[in-house]
């Protein structure tokens, strides 16, 4: 590399899959099950379209139930180990809202699988007030995905930061996406190290 | 929000600051101190230019010492709670290398401050084989930054994944950036929740 001519691009770009641009979103999602159903549909569609891993997420405004931003796992296609569904949804939500702090809107994050160590760490920084989870982390581990080193009682750690945690919402439906992904031979993309 | 017309953008874009495009990088960085010195310079410059928080990072190829990608904290300007220096460097490195798995290149992450819970969680996913830290997390806490809930012995947790951890490299220089940021009244941008 010659001095002064850095070879890296000057922006990070993570493109949402084209099918998301044609997706028919509802004006509002009324309860945790409706919100989770959307996230599960996104996760399943992401697998069917071959645009990433079997994980979906979405950020909603709590007062209205309006979608702020969706997220799907884009690790492999976007060449970004950090592009988990939750990171995508939280980052896109901030950029949509024009602030790094979603507490200004009173939002919640809904995710089809309990967050890995990275995504769990992102939750307090995002300013969301509630985390809603579908499948348990052991459901992801069961098909070979690594969840990382998390605090033993991570729901309590979030609650101590005044972030509500709701678990097992449509757990079976969310887990079915994982199982179908595995059955179809989808890549488990943990780094080879 | 009318159904079918989502109001969110269809890509996440995190722009590096313009000054980084004019920065003179060396062809190679020979040891941990040289690599950390670059990260500290980036952190300080990020504050001086008003383009983000007092944190810098960089990913290097271990065999050659070549820079793969730099990172600075861009949380506030990019409206992204996730845009910590380490996440920026790791994500940009993957996109530069064209792979989500940096173990293909044998890389290391150098960061001016020990990673928060989110960035720590990202390290194993990135495929880097070594983490080099400057300031301690208590140095960041001392000026008001929250580091999140991390495993008690997080260096051991990384080592158990065959990721080497080196601490206290130019700790004083890295901490001075934090102190100067605080003295200048720089925003501590934890979410208000």
* pLDDT given at position A3: 47
Q: Does A79 touch chain B (CB under 8 A)?
A: yes
Q: What is the dihedral of CA B185, B189, B192, B193, to 10 degrees?
A: -140
CB contact under 8 A, A1 and B27: yes
For the residues A88-112, what does the mean pLDDT come to? 97
* pLDDT given at position A2: 43
Q: Does B94 touch chain A (CB under 8 A)?
A: yes
What are the tens digits of pLDDT across the range B142-181? 999 999 999 989 999 999 999 999 999 999 999 999 999 9
For the residues A45-60, what does the mean pLDDT come to? 97
CB contact under 8 A, B118 and A116: no
pLDDT averaged over 10-residue windows placed end to end, chain B, 193 residues: 65 97 95 98 97 97 97 97 98 97 96 98 98 97 94 95 98 97 88 66
CB contact under 8 A, A119 and B120: no
* Nearest CB to A125; choose among B69, B70, B82: B82
Q: How many CB pairs under 8 A join A and B?
A: 251
pLDDT band at A1 (very low <50, low <70, confident <90, very high): very low
- Of A61, A44, A176, residue with least CA distance to A130: A61
Q: What contacts B77, CB < 8 A, 6 or more positions away?
A: B17, B51, B52
* pLDDT given at position B193: 59
For the residues A112-133, what does the mean pLDDT come to? 98
CB contact under 8 A, B193 and A129: yes
Measured between CA atoms, the residue of chain B closest to residue A18 is B10
pLDDT, mean over chain A: 94
What is the rounded distance in angstroms from the CA atom of residue B59 to the CA atom of residue B57? 7
Name the DSSP class of A104: G
Q: Is residue B86 annotated as part of the catalytic site, yes or no? A: yes
Q: What contacts B106, CB < 8 A, 6 or more positions away?
A: B61, B62, B63, B129
| 3-state SS, one letter per residue, for chain B | CCCCCCCCCCEEEEECCHHHHCCCCCCCCCCHHHHHHHHHHHHHHHHHCCCCCCCEEEEEECCCCCEEEEEECCCCCCCCCCCCHHHHHHHHHHHHHCCCCHHHCCEEEEEEECCCHHHHHHHHHHCCCEEEEEECHHHHHHCCCCCCCCCCCHHHHHHCCCCEEECCCCHHHHHHHHHHHHHCCCCCCCCCC
Residue A121, pLDDT above cutoff 80: yes
Q: Tell me the C-alpha to C-alpha distance, in Å, between residue B60 and each of A156, B43, B126.
A: 37, 17, 13
What is the rounded distance in angstroms from the CA atom of residue A134 to the CA atom of residue B119? 24
For the residues A4-15, what does the mean pLDDT come to? 83
Cβ pair B102, B125 in contact under 8 A:
no
Strand partners, A70: A58
ipTM of the complex: 0.95
Residue A79, pLDDT above cutoff 60: yes
């Amino acid at each position: 590399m010659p001095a002064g001519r850095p070879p890296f691009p000057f922006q990070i770009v993570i493109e949402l899959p084209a099918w998301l641009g044609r997706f028919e979103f509802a004006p509002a999602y009324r309860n945790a099950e409706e919100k989770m159903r959307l996230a599960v549909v996104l996760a399943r569609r992401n697998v069917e379209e071959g645009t990433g891993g079997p994980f979906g997420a979405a950020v909603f405004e709590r007062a209205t139930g309006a979608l702020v931003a969706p997220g799907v796992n884009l690790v492999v296609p976007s060449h970004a180990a950090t592009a988990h569904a939750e990171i995508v949804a939280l980052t896109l939500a901030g950029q949509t809202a024009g602030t790094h702090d979603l507490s200004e809107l009173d939002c919640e994050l809904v995710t089809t699988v309990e967050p890995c160590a990275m995504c769990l760490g992102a939750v307090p920084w995002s300013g969301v007030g509630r985390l809603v989870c579908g499948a348990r982390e052991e459901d992801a581990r069961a098909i070979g995905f690594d969840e990382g080193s998390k605090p033993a009682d991570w729901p309590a750690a979030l609650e101590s930061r005044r972030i509500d945690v709701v678990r097992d919402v449509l757990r079976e439906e969310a887990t079915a996406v994982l199982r179908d992904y595995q059955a179809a031979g989808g890549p488990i993309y943990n780094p080879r190290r």
